[in-house]
Amino acid sequence: MADKLAMMLLTIDPDRPHVCGAPFFQAAAAASMDVEVEIYFSSRAVRLLIKGVADKIYPGEGQHKTVYEFMKDAAKLGVKFYACGGGLHEFGVRAEEDFVPECTGIAGAAAYVQRVMDDEWKVLSY
């Protein structure tokens, strides 16, 4: 079994909160099985890393946990979050202080493609 998983959040959008919970729940599940997990936030998904965004949305009407709480659960298990540098300026991110503390750093297309091409990593896209 592979022990490394890279996830790309390309179509995840805070304006569609019902799609925002599953990647973090699945990342947490993988991490709890001792899988090294990295999540790459691209396009509108980058907004989830901005303070004050994910903590105001819920992935379903019956949910009592915010998307941010699901993100924190995954991060506590060691999941790393990377923001795409290209999307930052589009959404008004000017400094790392704009990000939630769980954001590991900035990594773009080259970093993700490196994971895709590496036989040691499995890849999921949302």
Domain ranges of the chain: 4-125
Each residue of 31-78: pLDDT tens digit? 999 999 999 999 999 999 999 999 999 998 888 999 999 999 999 999
Helix (H) or strand (E) holding 109: helix 109-117
Which amino acid, residue 12?
I
Distance separating alpha carbons of residues 39 and 25, to the nearest angstrom: 12
Please tell me what DSSP assigns to residue 75. Answer: H
Is the pLDDT confidence value at 108 over 90?
no
User: Among the CATH numbers 3.30.565.10, 3.40.1050.10, 2.60.40.1220, 3.40.1260.10, which is that of 4-125?
Assistant: 3.40.1260.10
Burial of residue 19, with CB atoms counted within 10 A of its CB: 0-12 exposed, 13-18 middle, 19 or more buried: middle
Q: What is the pLDDT of residue 1?
A: 72
Which residue's entry shows tokens 């996830």?
A: 7
Q: What is the pTM of this model?
A: 0.93
Mean pLDDT of 118-123: 96
Pick the residue with more confidence: 63 or 80? Answer: 80
Residue 97 confidence (pLDDT): 79
